[in-house]
Structure 1
């Protein structure tokens, strides 16, 4: 079996602790610059805009997916858009300006193609190297080279 690469624990720890710490630092800086009430108002307005954007772009992505499926086309782009909108929505759910910024980059129609390219590269790398997921391993061919002759019986 081939060796499976795993995400380094340091990267997970950095994301788990670094992102909230960065959010707190940015919130404090914004609060000091414009005041606490304006910061809270800006966070609420950001959330309302994000919810509207997710709903709007989600409907567009669902309509595009439906159109591709009814036309008999492979909906790769539409599925990637849907995944990015879901990812962006998850990022928008966490309070803070940094995650909201990355969430909007995944959701906005003018920045989504860039995110889609990154997503495509990630999946292409994972699929071609055989390292997709923690438990996926490629089976090796039988080294003995024995071939079992047979016949397929069925409808």
Structure 2
């Protein structure tokens, strides 16, 4: 493992150059350069299309209270695949295309997920309320606890110099008035 990374750092550019020579010998220099240019454009387009799709899925997961960790990991893999397509070279293009394929991306994401920990700190995850995970906290027809039930208590931590207490506050809240005040 110790020698694998330096070997990849030195070996991959040499393999890419060998790929350029082999492809250039078969189809010509102009067509080789055109293929490199087209793969870079494809990488940019796929990054744009897939990137916005992943961003929408992450936002939807966050809005519904679902952990977006797997979608974020998929987004990182899409980004890596797009960069591999944008970088000149046929070996990196082949790796990028494979990572863009959804079954391969899911398999790589599952492999990585088993070896890394993804922490989510968005509201609605990891409730400290022990009753929120019970069987009575789900809506009929839904697959999990309601979003309101998954939230923990709202805690705002202020230092002494960040707030002040007035006499009115100690007596309790003022009764509501019907007039508008500024």
Q: Please indicate, yes or no, whether the TM-score normalized by the shorter chain is above 0.5.
A: yes
Query: Is the aligned partner of 1:46 residue 2:39?
Result: yes
Does residue 62 in structure 1 map to residue 55 in structure 2? yes
Q: Which residue of 1 aligns with 2:175?
A: none
| Corresponding position of 2:116 | 123
- Taking structure 1 as the reference length, the TM-score comes to 0.69
Match of residue 32 from structure 1: 25
Shift of 1:89: 2.6
Q: Of the candidates 11, 18, 21, which is equivalent to residue 18 of structure 1?
A: 11
Change (3 A) 1:20 1:59: same
Residues paired across the two proteins, number = 119
Q: Distance in 2 between matches of 1:97 and 1:56?
A: 22
| Counterpart Cα distance in 2 of 1:45 and 1:53 | 12
Q: Per the alignment, in what secondary structure is the counterpart of residue 111 of structure 1?
A: helix
CA contact (8 A) 1:23 1:98 kept: yes
1:90 aligns with 2:83: yes
Kept after mapping to 2: 8 A contact 1:105/1:115: no
**Normalising by the residue count of structure 2, what TM-score does the alignment of the two structures yield?**
0.59
Match of 2:106 in 1: 113
Q: CA RMSD in A?
A: 2.0
Deviation at 1:46, TM superposition (A): 0.9
Q: Distance between the aligned counterparts of 2:90 and 2:115, measured in 1?
A: 25
Q: Which runs of 5+ in 2 are unaligned?
A: 118-156, 159-182
Structure 1 residue runs of 5 or longer lacking an equivalent are: 1-6, 125-153
2:149 alignment partner in structure 1:
none
